[in-house]
Amino acid sequence: MKVITNIQDLQASIQQVKNSGSSIGFVPTMGYLHEGHLTLAEEAGKNNDTVVMSIFVNPLQFGPNEDFDRYPRDVERDAELARNVGVDILFIPEVVDMYDGKQSVTLSVIERVEVLCGRKREGHFDGVVTVLTKLFHLIQPTRAYFGLKDAQQIAVVEGLVRDYFFPVEIVRVPTVREEDGLAKSSRNVYLSKEERREAPSLYQSLIEAKNRIDAGERDPDSIISMISMNVQENTSGKIDYVEAYSFPELAELSRLQGEIIIALAVQFQQARLIDNIIISVEPEEDSNV
Ligand code: PAF
C-alpha cells in the first residue's frame, strides 16, 4: 500500500494507474476507521483493480459549534487497517493542500438539504460536495463507495454527480448492523448499558414500518406516529426527527409510494443515533381510479 500525503505524488500515481487501464474504486473517509469504512473498502476491492482511500478531516463540513478540533484522529492505526483490507493507495492530505488560499469558486447545495440532518447543519453539505469535487478530480474514480447509513449524504452526492456529469458511479453500500439490528457506529460506545439495550428498537420500529407498508399502509403520518410512539415507549432517547421522503430526491410525500426513505435520529445522553430504511413501495391499487 502506498501512503501519499501530497497532491503532486497522488496525481503521478493516479496517472500511472490510469495509463495501465485499471479501474479505480474510491472510498472517501475522515479517518478513525471502523467496520463501516472497511466494508466500503472491501466492496471497492471486489469490483475494481485499484482501491484508493482518502483520510481527510474536512474543516469545511463542520459548523462553528461542531467538533472539528476534537474529531478523533489515529493515522497509524488507520493505515494498518487500510492495508489489511486491501487498500492500494492511501491519500492523507493536510488542510493546506486541499484548501490552499482563498477559494475563488464555492459550491452550494440547494436541493435535498432542508430535511433530515441537513436542516440543522447549515453549510455541512456544501463542505461535503466541495471536498468530494476536489477528490473526484484528483482521483478520477470509476466508482465511489458510500454507506447508506448516511443516506442524505448519498442523495446529495448523487445530485452532484448527476448535475455536473462526473464520470463516476456512486455505489450505495448497505448499513452494517450488530446482531440485534443496531446500525454500527463509532458513537455506539457512548451509549450507557441501559441505552445500548434500548437502542435496537430504532431499527425494530423501522422494520415494523416496513411490515405495515407491506400490509397496505400508505399514510406517511400514521407510519411516522407509529415509529415515534415505539421509540418513545421503548427508549429513554429524545426523538430529533422521524421523517419519510422519496429517495433520493428527498421530496415530501402525501402517500407512500415509489422509492422511499424512512429515517430517524434519536438523541441519547452522550450519543445521537441515526438510522433509516430505503424501500420500494408499490402504488396503491386504486391510485389510478
Ligand atoms: O462521510 C464522510 O466521512 C465525509 O462526509 C466524506 C464523504 C469523507 C467527505 O468529507
Structural domains of the chain in order of their starting residue, each with its CATH number? 2-173 (3.40.50.620), 186-278 (3.30.1300.10)
Tell me the C-alpha to C-alpha distance, in Å, between residue 289 and each of 212, 218, 220.
Answer: 23, 16, 21
Residues in the chain: 289
Answer yes or no: are the C-beta atoms of 1 and 87 closer than 8 Å. Answer: yes
The verdict on the CB of residue 281 being under 6 Å from ligand 1 is no
30 CA to middle of ligand 1, Å?
6
Residue 217 reports pLDDT greater than 60: yes
Q: What percent of the chain has pLDDT over 90?
A: 90
**pLDDT value for 286:** 65
pLDDT at site 115: 97
User: Would you place residue 288 in the very low, low, confident or very high pLDDT band (cuts 50, 70, 90)?
Assistant: low
For the segment 202-212, what is each residue's pLDDT rounded down to a tens digit? 999 999 999 99
Residue nearest to atom 2 of ligand 1 (CA): 29
Q: 232 alpha carbon to ligand 1 midpoint, in Å? A: 31
The fraction of the chain above a pLDDT of 70, given in percent, is 99
Q: Minimal CA–CA distance to 54: which of 139, 166, 122?
A: 139
Residue from 159, 237, 240, 164 nearest 198 by CA = 237
Global pTM reads 0.94
Q: pLDDT category, 258, cuts 50, 70, 90?
A: very high
The tens digit of pLDDT for each residue in 130-185 reads 999 999 999 999 999 999 999 999 999 999 999 999 999 999 999 999 999 999 98
